Amino acid sequence: MTKMPEKIIPRGLQLLHDPVLNKGSAFTAVERDALDLHGLLPPHVQTQAEQVERVLGNLARKPTDLERYISLIALEGRNQTLFYRILVDYIEQMMPIIYTPTVGEACQQYGKIFRRPGGLFISAEDRGRVAEVLRNWPDRDVRVIVVTDGERILGLGDQGSNGMGIPIGKLMLYTACAGVHPSQCLPVTIDVGTNNTALLVDPLYFGLHERRLRGPEYDALIDEFVEAATKLFPRVLIQFEDFGNENAFRLLERYQERICTFNDDIQGTAAVALAGLYSALRITGETLRDQRVLLFGAGEAGIGIANLLVLALTEAGLPQNEARARCWFVDSKGLVVRSRNDLSSYKLVFAQDHEPLADTVAIIESVRPSVLIGVSGKPGVFSRAVLEAAARQVARPIVFALSNPTSLVECTAEEAYRWTQGRAIFASGSPFDAVSLFGHRFVPGQGNNAYIFPGVGLGVIACASRLVTDEMFLAAAQTLAQQVSQAELDEGRLYPRLTHIRKVSHAVATAVIRVAFGRGLARMSVPNDLDEYVRLLMYEPEYRSYI
């Protein structure tokens, strides 16, 4: 188990106000006397289990998930260990609250629900002193930074500095799902302004009230941040999160061969989608090279999925040009084809030799896909006509509606099953309840990036890898698919139950470490027992004794 960094133990109210050390009503009678706590707490000493029961009861009485989110964030600010005990033990119930879909609303309401800082803000006004700002963070053994500039928060668009909810939520999942110690996690928002007019005129908006910084000045600020972060925290992994398309691809290309970094929207989403596809093929009995994939949305997620799919197909022996020919895209202007003159370089790679088409049903009837993947952020794009057309092409259409939050999903689970007469193999980015139709109970899988990025991060941290490679994400996808049991597949699940996510993250981490060792990227020697080495690194939220 990862040990908590040694801290000087404060006394009295100072100890109760330290969220890392505080145990609240669980301090024993002996500890209360020794640490000047007697009389500062109610006399009954509670077990951690009793505290959990009390918190769960309080959450159940909250009227909305946003109120539950606020309550949990407040708990994390009072008693970090108890907060993570609840997340680990009740991950299925808590993940939709601390992350998607509730975190989207939390970002939109950030200025109204703000209680205390949970991360580090670096603004355009900090140019020339970013290292000084980073030194204000109290922990020095930072191993993972999740950073955003708030331009593309989930499917909600530009939220500026309100996007801080995303790196905070992601790093909570690093700890809950993969056991990365909270003290090793640093959420960062780089505030370069916002083009969201509503925020610019909102007096309660916390961020810079100016239009977004672009061009060389923006690049110089990001360069300064990366240089300062990697110098101050020499073994840090930097995860880029929710940057706009233009910057996301460019920054990944700029840094991925220089520092230990990845973009979860591009690479993490790709791995979880590919894992779901591997699982779906266990149901159909087909191979990956048999598939024709039609992706709705040609941004970070869509291009990332296609790139990883091409890597998987080439590793399976298919020439690269044939692998790319398996991937078709629909963007806001229709089918992505070579005759169009409006394509960015990353779309042009996947442009097909085909006549231009804009009507979605016509595209499906012409392309005849076996797999539909929605990462468009356009609610309802998988309409009844679209899904019925898809079901006419193959016996078991694979339908992934991956856009977040739930309000932006391409179709619901019930729509996918109903409009394909129960033949769809379905997964979504947001959670859906089980559906009973046609005399069968369908349990939809949630293609949550939390199955991938925490385990990848744990593996990278555990072996101090110099870089993060696409091969690591391919290994993560293959490993995740292997974690799905036959019983889960029989229910329609394409991913393991969230209750198994720490086991999944352990397996993903070991797969990533093996890739790092195999490619000479690890900055440590191979442990004798890799599985046990990783297990012992994983933080467990248990109270320590102070006596």
- List residues with catalytic annotation: 99, 170
Identify the residue whose tokens are 């088409």. Answer: 357
Which residues, listed in sequence order, are joined to residue 441 by a DSSP beta bridge? 436
The torsion angles phi and psi of 168, rounded to 5 degrees, stand at -65, -50
Dist CA 414 CA 420 (whole Å): 10
Structure tokens at 218: 């923006």
Dihedral sign computed on CA atoms, order 527, 532, 534, 539: negative
Tokens of 161: 């500095």
Q: How far apart are CA 509 and CA 394, in angstroms?
A: 36
Residue 264 three-state SS: helix
Burial of residue 239, with CB atoms counted within 10 A of its CB: 0-12 exposed, 13-18 middle, 19 or more buried = buried
Cα 234 from Cα 495, distance rounded (Å):
35
* Distance, CA of 20 to CA of 8 (rounded, Å): 12
Query: Which H or E element spans position 262?
Result: strand 261-263
Pair 262, 253: CB distance under 8 Å: no
- As given in the structure block, the two tokens for residue 414 are 């019930």
User: Cα 420 from chain centroid?
Assistant: 30
Give buried/exposed letters for 445-471 (b at 16+ CB in 10 A, else e). Answer: bbbbbbbbbbbbbbbbbbbbbbbbbbb
